[in-house]
Chain A
Amino acid sequence: MREQAEQQYDGRIQQHPSSPIHEFHVSAGSPSFDDKEALARVVAIDDDRVWLEPMQGGSCGGCASAAACGSKGIGTIANRLEARRFAVAGRFGLRVGEEVVVAYGEGKLVKAAAVAYGLPLLFAVVVAAIVQAQFGRDGLTLLGALAGLALGFLAMKAASSRLEAGGGLEARIVRRVGPATIPIFPTGN
């Protein structure tokens, strides 16, 4: 299957008009991800969708998956990773435990982070500074910061709706991860 894939796909990006997966890549050797890609693991498969869990790369390999973590409960790493699971429509012939590369629209991550974290923080600090300048008391400034944070979260909700309307926030599966990256073929799902 893989040999056939390597023969058929020569490394250039190709498009399949009937598939919900937009890109098919083949990259030989060690995986090289561009700016908008991330790793995820298949944790469940429904009739018409695949459930994925983000793989936490980088600093600590121990938290790579909720399934690898013994302790569960509110606030634990396993619990938080479980909360980050998401679904992608289609099955693509994937099996539970397989690793795939998922992608979002380019440049969306920075915008999403700015909206989710930047806006509430900006509101909190600005309102706290105004309250401090007006009243000069720490207790009131703290209350002002909390009120600003609440306002900021409301602003975040409004801004995120606008961002969603612009599109590009939906994850799509790009390819499987293997010893050499294997393209995903449409399976008719």
Chain B
Amino acid sequence: MTSSVGSTTGTAGTGELAGTLEATAAPPPRRPRGRGSALRRQNFATSIRNNFYFVLFVVPLQTALALFLAVLLNNKFLRGRSYFRTAFFFPSVTSSIATTLVFLFLFSGGGAVNQLLGYVGLHGPNWTADPRGVFHQALGAVGVDSTPGWARHEFFNLSWWDWFSGPSIAMIVIITLVVWTTSGTFMLMFLAGLQNINEEVLEASEVDGADAWQRFRLVTLPMLRPTLILVLTLGLISTWQVFDQIYLTGNNPATITPAYLSYNQSFQNSAFGIGAAIAFLLFALIILLAAVQRRLIGTGEDD
């Protein structure tokens, strides 16, 4: 196989994880319109891809975790719930810079997370420096370790193979961090929603023979619908703007997002026109997504 766009050289050759690809490699200058322009397009495509996978993972995870914690804290038979609520909410009030610094340390090569993994016999990656996509990793594990022919075609200066890379391992750190910091806030919203649910309805369903899971799925969840929609909307809007955490991981193609790229182009390359254009596209994307979401699942306002 001839080497294709974005395929790595020997850098990813660690054991069975070998043979993965990454978008970091510069593309061959196929287009005559100039390397600078092609690279910019590729960077933009990469940032959109990174942010897409970020949203795809963070929004469901933070919503599910927040809902789980709220339901857990809503169990009246547990004592000390307000202390635990404080503990779960605390990361939400601290500065994004301070928490990112802590997480970059926890996920460093010899950091706490890898030590924990070591106790159960796993050898963790060098998280924040690892640009490999997790979908590529998974495919590598089942034997697909070179780019399939169809995936070598490019879309917006990024090969299809690279579009389907999944979040990079470095991005997994940011995903974990953001889920950790935002779940507390959304947990409070779910708790407020749970407190509005009429106890009698739950009791009636219990009398009718519904078990705990059925009560949750058929009574609690439908009644939380307005809160759920609110949390999903706020999550979707904020995750497309992720910036502070990305700033701290630096100008790394494995984690750049449109918001960061806009900043980077403007303030580090003095290309304010390009930076403003990226910002405008991001703005349009967020407004569009919010509008589509509203259209699809309703406004969720019940009063």
Instruction: State yes or no: do A and B come from one complex.
Output: no
Interface residues in chain B, defined as those with a beta carbon under 8 Å from any beta carbon in chain A? none
Interface residues in chain A, defined as those with a beta carbon under 8 Å from any beta carbon in chain B? none
